Amino acid sequence: MSDFLIGIDGGGTSCRAAVATADGIVVGMAKSGPANILTDIDGALGNIAAASRGAFINAGLDPSGITRARALLGLAGSNVGDVSERLTARLPFSRSEIVSDGLIALQGAFGDEDGAIAVIGTGTMYLSRRGDGLRSFGGWGFIVADQGSGARLGHALLQECLLASDGIRPGSPLTADVLAEFGDDPSRLVAFARYAAPSDFGRYSPRIFAAANSSDPVGLKVLRAGAAAIDETLDAMVRAGGERICLLGGLSAHYPVWLSEANRSRLVAARADALSGAVALAVSRFGGRMAS
């Protein structure tokens, strides 16, 4: 029996896997937990394997077959340090290649054509392509970058909650609700934040959008700052030639109305999603008849 290809889309919120034939026909898919290799390499490894096994099961295949599969993985955090090399040595596949989550999203959105993508979810990733040239913007992770991401929005909200609790800045119904979750005890909020992962902060982002849409002053403040940071990066991509932009990721449906009119006019719909892009790149790297 021929072995299979696996495409992986791994981000700060979830990991999706698709198993496909050598010519790119997807036969099974599955989803697991976060796969940000920069913030939690062990957790990412476990979720990558779990999603891959789940995709094989979904296809009616023996999950042990992942050890014979060739995998193309688009992973958040893969552009920083030697983390990709360390993960590659531990992956369960017969052959693996790790690329950025932005590259698979770009491939899914535009195929082989020129274009630019802004992936805005728990984290952020910006990537543009002109001809054979690729250029990334940001994508350096939650600690020092990812402005406008769900994680950074949530982090900013918790900061505002502490400032309101201390009487330094005015609070709002949003800060009151969040503080109430911690028993109106700021020390409990700090204890939570001390060990929180980006996805833990990111869970507050839907509430920030909802609050801003209801004119909550703190929600508006946090969201406007996030949107300004995204506009700044989109403007830089446009100056570099990225005139068609796909807005992708978990927050992509919520952000457009908060962006500048100029950037809203540049937004186009993606042809396909990042997981489809991962499968397409897997075919280009590993396609053809494989060993029985």
Domain boundaries, the chain: 5-110+273-286, 112-270
Asked if domains 5-110+273-286 and 112-270 share a fold, the reply is yes
- What is the predicted pLDDT for the residue at 241? 83
179-235 residue pLDDT tens: 999 999 999 999 999 999 998 999 999 999 999 999 999 999 999 999 999 999 999
Rounded Cα distance, 57 and 62, in Å? 6
All residue ranges of the chain with pLDDT < 50 are 1, 290-292
156-185 residue pLDDT tens: 999 999 999 999 999 999 999 999 999 999
Token representation of residue 144 = 């020092």
Determine what percent of the chain falls in helix, strand and coil, rounding each to the nearest 5.
45, 20, 35
Rounded Cα distance, 32 and 14, in Å? 6
Q: Which residue has the tokens 């392509």?
A: 129
- What is the predicted pLDDT for the residue at 80? 73
Reported as half-sphere exposure (CB side, CA atoms, 13 A), residue 209 has a value of: 17
∠ CA 154-232-202, nearest 5°, is: 15
Residues 6+ apart with CB under 8 A from 227: 148, 255, 258, 259
Which of the four CATH numbers 3.40.640.10, 3.30.420.40, 3.40.50.300, 3.40.50.620 does domain 5-110+273-286 have? 3.30.420.40
Q: Both ends of the chain: CA-CA distance in Å?
A: 5
Strands 245-248 and 115-120: parallel
- What is the predicted pLDDT for the residue at 104? 94
Alpha-carbon dihedral sign for residues 190, 195, 198, 204 = negative
CATH of domain 112-270: 3.30.420.40
Of the candidates 275, 292, 271, the one whose C-alpha atom is nearest the C-alpha of residue 26 is 275
- What is the predicted pLDDT for the residue at 288? 62
